[in-house]
Amino acid sequence: MTRVAGKPAVRPFKARLYSLLLRLRVRLISRRSLRTAIAVLAVLVLTWIFGQAGVLDKLDRAGSDIQSRLNPAPTDGTVAVVVIDDNDYRQIFDGGIPVNAGRLIDLVNDIAKGGPSVIGIDIDSSPHQFAETAKALNCNCTIVWEREVEELPETVEANQELKLLPILGGRSDLNNARISSGIPILIDDPEDGTTRRFQRYFGTDNGLFPSFTTALTSAYAKEKNLASLGSQVATFSDQELLIRYSGDQQGSHRIQLSASKLHELSQNWKPDASPIEGRIVLLGGAYLGQDQHKTPIGQISGVEILANVIETELHGQVATAPSRLVLYLLDLFEAFGLILMFHFWPFRTAILRSVALIPLVAALFSFGVYSDVAHFGQFFVVLVGLLFYELYEHFRREQFPHLIEEKKSGHH
């Protein structure tokens, strides 16, 4: 009798599914998986504690400040600054508050003789005395005046409505195509009072209104037919952005003149020999120690900060200030990645790869969020902390029992 080998019996679908679920269950409740779950929970708690204690914010600020000191200064010198210093305040403006409107208009006309593309005036022109003297303006370029608000808020909040004050004493019969305005509010960090961020628009009783630097940048883009720059600042948003400080505390990379020096030079300027021709010229005050701000590059005047903001816009790589939630989620994401390495690879392999990858991952996250690598420290610290946790767990599981056994053997 001949036997014929039959086909192996095919397991029913339900049996295969049950077997798969059983293996998955065993894997999920294994000691290794349990340790991974504990590590994940520890990372969640640790990152939350870091966030609540302000550790992540401090790392963010430290990284931003380091990058500000390392940023190369612009080489094109588009922005020039004219400063009314203490001597100018006494000699030109006779030490009056508010400044003498007629003499300020004369100074603006002196700047205009140099042929700049745009003039930005960081001085309050809302007093009524400007209404009459504004008629003496003699400028063919665009002038952007700072627009003060009735009450300066301690902090800039979303959906707030600032009440705007008039410019030039309330005059409205001037050339609107050549005269505009913007809000000159600077955003200080509530923790350490350092100015690191700016906004392009603010909520007002007239809707979203441009900041002083946005109005200046927009005017310059229009004068120079820079469509990409114009569209960059034209998006209506009150989102906070990071100032890309560059150069030294003295701002030595840009043209800087005192008001008296500019007046002297303007008397002999020739049409094609002006050092400010075609530039954005900022006029502001630095007298009586007023309008001084703490920044990552040192104590500087408000008009110098405005120059840095404009250079940030001209640079084109404007980084959005990330929220605390975004930083928290990124820290969790990188932490999970490290945990999975130790879960699927042998311990020594995971250690070697972790040491090599941690700086790279931290730098990539920094570049993705801030467009630079200086902020890698805030991501790096979470990964290093987790790496030490994995080392501790390995020692506790693998070495500690052996030490206990050796100690017991020694007693015998």
Report mean pLDDT in 10-residue bins for the chain, 412 residues. Answer: 46 65 58 63 67 67 78 86 92 84 93 94 92 86 92 74 90 74 90 90 89 95 92 82 87 92 87 85 88 90 94 84 69 71 80 86 80 70 74 71 61 53
Let me know: does 169 contact 126? Beta carbons within 8 Å: yes
- What is the model's pLDDT at position 412? 52
Distance CA 283, CA 82 (A): 5
From 260, 288, 315, give the residue that closes a domain. Answer: 315
| 259 and 344 housed in the same domain | no
Which long-range contacts link 124-128 to residues 24+ away (Cβ below 8 Å)?
124/98, 124/148, 124/165, 125/101, 125/167, 125/168, 125/169, 126/165, 126/166, 126/167, 126/169, 126/170, 127/98, 127/101, 127/169, 128/169, 128/170
| 111 and 44 housed in the same domain | no
Q: Number of structural domains, the chain?
A: 2
Q: What is the domain range of residue 195?
A: 73-315
From 315, 330, 352, give the residue that closes a domain. Answer: 315
| 131 and 150 housed in the same domain | yes
From 284, 315, 346, give the residue that closes a domain. Answer: 315
- What is the model's pLDDT at position 6? 47
Q: Is 9 part of any domain?
A: no
- What is the model's pLDDT at position 163? 92
Q: How many CA atoms lie within 13 A of 156 on its CB side?
A: 22
Q: Is 286 part of any domain?
A: yes
- What is the model's pLDDT at position 151? 85
pTM of the shown model:
0.75
